[in-house]
Amino acid sequence: MKSIAAYAVLAGATGLFGLQVQAQSLPQELRPAVPAAALAGQAKMTFWGFDVYQATLWVAPGFVEGSYEQSPFALELSYLRDLKGADIARRSLAEMRRQAPMTPAQETTWEGQMRALFPDVKTGDRITGVNQPATGAVFWSNGRLLGEVRDPAFARQFFGIWLAAQTSEPQLRRALLAQAKSTAPVGTAP
């Protein structure tokens, strides 16, 4: 059961996930990092009938899905089951490999950084990542700052797990980006 949950933590077996949407507001601690953010979409991820997490995406004005790494945004995972932080980091790295090739040094560094940042989670816990364009990513857990990874390549591949066109979960991506197109400035191609 742990391996199934760990596998499902950050996207996994295509076509086996159920998605549901419900409204939420941007957590208070994230408002300075993503001012004027709007809810872009939400989805509940399940794996073989097991609820794993509720994903929520908030985007800043001007967000364009095809170049998501160039905009500030916040992606929150509200866990619906207990998981080990090491399993979250390991699964994240496996999904990041789908986004673009990584050097062995990047893999080692990024997995180590994620293992150091991501705590074990219990049902109801939240881990939120904030994209900082051209800088990297900052992570929060239940309103508490965890730390950051100052590497734009890391941020692009990490958030690409959910937002890149080559995600293993295109249905989840569509749900998260459902309202994002309306935030693009006039004249910007979707």
Provide the residue range defining the domain that includes 70: 2-181
Q: What is the CATH number of the domain that holds 19?
A: 3.50.70.10
DSSP notation for 75-141:
EEEEESS-B-HHHHHHHHHHHHTTTS---HHHHHHHHHHHHHHPPPB-TT-EEEEEEETTTEEEEEE
In 3D space, the residue among 150, 129, 189, 169 whose CA is nearest the CA of residue 13 turns out to be 169
Q: How far is CA 71 from the centre of its chain?
A: 14
Mean pLDDT, rounded, for 4-23:
37
Mean pLDDT of 39-44: 93
Contact 34, 74 (CB under 8 A): yes
Asked if residue 91 belongs to a domain, the reply is: yes
What are the tens digits of pLDDT across the range 92-130?
Answer: 999 999 888 999 999 999 999 999 999 999 999 999 999
Euclidean distance between CA atoms 30 and 37, whole angstroms: 9
Q: Residue 188: inside a domain, yes or no?
A: no
Q: What does pLDDT average to over the chain?
A: 84
Is 186 a domain residue? no
Q: Is residue 40 part of a domain?
A: yes
pLDDT reading at 7 higher than 60: no
**53 pLDDT above the threshold of 90:** yes
Q: Residue 189 domain-assigned?
A: no
Is the pLDDT at 156 greater than 80, yes or no? yes
Per the structure, the count of domains in the chain is 1
